[in-house]
């Protein structure tokens, strides 16, 4: 397997002079193609900072980020816009759907922007809607569907371009447990059947238990990582909860 994401000695310092805050310290890790990796850590650990750097929304103070063989930390604004559009998919907690467009129109938007032929668009929208189980909702508007269905629409839109690397930021944060479970199963299918590479930031141990590997961040540093291996999801969940407890976190903070 090949490293799709290679993070090298990443540091992020916010502010200047006496107001400086070292939010990330010497973070290095790799994500191989086809992995489903969770990033966990308590509030203030640096998860959002890391995600913003990887998503190319913010720049590191020092260090390199290499995605699909390209060093994104040195690209200019135009190069970043193209790179994000062509290689990355984003799923956020708050969906970011356009209310005046139907589910179908929301999903096909990135393909329309990329000027793909109508036939290709129709086929891809159908495929991805099926994967997320929203094929019956395509003509509805966001206000007519539930939170879970909105999130599956947002995920479909993020993934319809088949991005190399998918970043999900607390994707289950606003969902009830049934919708969260459905979404997580869709991620697992996407990962196993389409070999999508996913990095999901979450503070939720249950959501993290669907990943195959988890990286823990504590006080801006990479604290440790654990791998699911042959464990069942339930066993992995127990291991995650134990790890959080050992790290000094309150179990109830994260579930």
The site for ligand ADP (CB under 6 A) is made up of 14-15, 21, 23, 41, 43-49
Distance separating alpha carbons of residues 169 and 199, to the nearest angstrom: 9
Q: Is residue 153 within 8 Å of 107, Cβ to Cβ?
A: yes
Q: Which two tokens stand for residue 160?
A: 């319809």
Provide, rounded to whole angstroms, the least separation between the CB of residue 17 and ligand ADP.
13
Q: Which two tokens stand for residue 53?
A: 């750097």
Provide, rounded to whole angstroms, the least separation between the CB of residue 44 and ligand ADP.
4
Alpha carbon 65 to its chain centroid, in Å, reads 16
Residue number with CB closer to ligand ADP (14 or 245): 14
Distance separating alpha carbons of residues 219 and 180, to the nearest angstrom: 28
Residue number with CB closer to ligand ADP (148 or 220): 220
Identify the burial level of 59 via C-beta atoms within 10 angstroms of its C-beta, where 0-12 means exposed, 13-18 middle and 19 or more buried. Answer: middle
Provide, rounded to whole angstroms, the least separation between the CB of residue 226 and ligand ADP.
18
Provide, rounded to whole angstroms, the least separation between the CB of residue 14 and ligand ADP.
3
Residue number with CB closer to ligand ADP (41 or 142): 41
Provide, rounded to whole angstroms, the least separation between the CB of residue 106 and ligand ADP.
27
Residue number with CB closer to ligand ADP (45 or 107): 45
Residue number with CB closer to ligand ADP (46 or 89): 46
Q: Is residue 201 within 8 Å of 51, Cβ to Cβ?
A: yes
Q: What is the dihedral of CA 98, 101, 107, 109, to 10 degrees?
A: -80
Residue number with CB closer to ligand ADP (46 or 171): 46
Residue number with CB closer to ligand ADP (44 or 229): 44
Provide, rounded to whole angstroms, the least separation between the CB of residue 151 and ligand ADP.
20
Provide, rounded to whole angstroms, the least separation between the CB of residue 11 and ligand ADP.
12
Q: For the chain, first and last CA: distance in Å?
A: 33
Alpha carbon of 219 to those of 80, 87, 113, 216: distances in Å? 28, 30, 40, 10
User: Helical H runs in 63-176?
Assistant: 77-87, 103-113, 118-131, 147-159
């Amino acid at each position: 397997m090949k490293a799709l994401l290679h993070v090298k000695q990443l540091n992020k310092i916010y502010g200047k002079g006496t107001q400086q805050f070292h939010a990330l310290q010497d973070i290095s890790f790799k994500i191989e193609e086809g992995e489903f990796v969770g990033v966990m850590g308590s509030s203030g650990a640096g998860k959002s900072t890391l995600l913003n750097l990887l998503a190319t929304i913010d720049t590191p103070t020092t260090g390199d980020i290499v995605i699909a063989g390209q060093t994104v930390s040195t690209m200019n604004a135009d190069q970043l816009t193209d790179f994000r559009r062509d290689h990355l998919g984003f799923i956020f907690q708050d969906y970011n759907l356009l209310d005046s467009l139907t589910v179908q129109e929301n999903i096909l938007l990135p393909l329309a922007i990329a000027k793909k032929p109508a036939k290709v668009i129709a086929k891809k929208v159908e495929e991805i809607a099926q994967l997320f189980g929203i094929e019956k909702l395509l003509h509805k508007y966001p206000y007519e569907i539930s939170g879970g269905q909105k999130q599956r629409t947002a995920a479909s839109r993020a993934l319809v371009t088949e991005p190399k690397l998918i970043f999900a930021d607390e994707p289950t944060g606003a969902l009830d447990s049934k919708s969260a479970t459905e979404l997580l199963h869709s991620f697992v299918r996407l990962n196993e059947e389409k070999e999508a590479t996913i990095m999901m930031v979450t503070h939720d141990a249950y959501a993290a238990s669907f990943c195959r590997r988890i990286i823990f961040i504590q006080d801006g540093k990479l604290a440790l990582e654990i791998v699911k291996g042959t464990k069942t999801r339930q066993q992995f969940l127990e291991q995650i909860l134990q790890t959080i407890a050992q790290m000094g976190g309150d179990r109830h903070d994260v579930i």
